[in-house]
Amino acid sequence: MSSVVLVERVGGVAIVTLNRPDKLNALNQELLAALYGTWSDLDHDPTVLCAVLTGAGKAFAAGADIAAMSTMGTSEAKIFSDLGHTVLARMESAHFPILGAVNGFALGGGCEVALACDFLYASEAAKFGQPEVNLGVIPGFGGTQRLARRVGIARARELCMTGDMITADRALTMGLVNAVFPAGELLTQARSVAEKIASKGPLAIAQCKRVMQRGADVPLPVANELEAQGFSWLFGTTDQKEGMAAFLEKRPASFKGR
């Protein structure tokens, strides 16, 4: 693992920390490549059942590295954008949920990374925004698309076209984040939810993520068929037998992920 991305394991939960605090965790090629490697490694580990993504210092990620971008031409910019899209797609395809714990600035590329998380919690100090138009460009890591899917097209247009920065409370009202906590409680709260998810049937959690992800952009009948396939597939697993037996026997289930 690279020093710009730190990983701590607590049972089935992985705590992943963006670690360029002196640069407000700005996303350069090194950090993005390290983040891709981190998610790939964790996705190949069946003992990882949930992850929390946060940032070191006072930012989640203040954006893409503008100093690095300022000298790019069109071909370099396309390569950089493709890298960002690849990393965020890797997050969405992981077999485990990723909870974002947004502790400070999540702007530009940082907001886009947050949007690739399954859902978000924020500290009272968090700030969100897609300010790229202030620099004469647009979001390049999926912000114009994931933001609209999260908060609706009108609000996404407003944020992307004004470049405005919003508070955690405003993000909560919009539905961008699920809850807002005092800064000192954020990671504890996020870890608590991650541990709860990790205690459930891991195959069921993976199917839930997969079906909801793939069903989001297809017609409802197609999405419902994806659900029916995932639901029925789980009836061929040991975890389903254990989960239902435990319920009937009034005892905690012991899931094995098979």
The residues that are catalytic are: 112, 132
In the block, tokens 């097209």 appear at 153
d(CA 95, CA 73): 36
Judge whether 48 and 14 are in contact, CB under 8 Å: yes
Phi, psi values for residue 119, rounded to 5°: -160, 170
* Residue among 105, 2, 10 nearest 113 (CA): 105
Residues recorded for the chain: 258
> Under 8 Å CB-to-CB from 108, ≥6 apart: which residues?
62, 63, 64, 129, 130, 131, 132, 139, 143
| DSSP output for 73-114 | -HHHHHHHHHHHHHHHHHHHHSSS-EEEEE-SEEETHHHHHH
Exposure string of 205-229, with b = 16+ CB inside 10 Å and e = fewer, is: bbbbbebeeebeeeeeeebeebbee
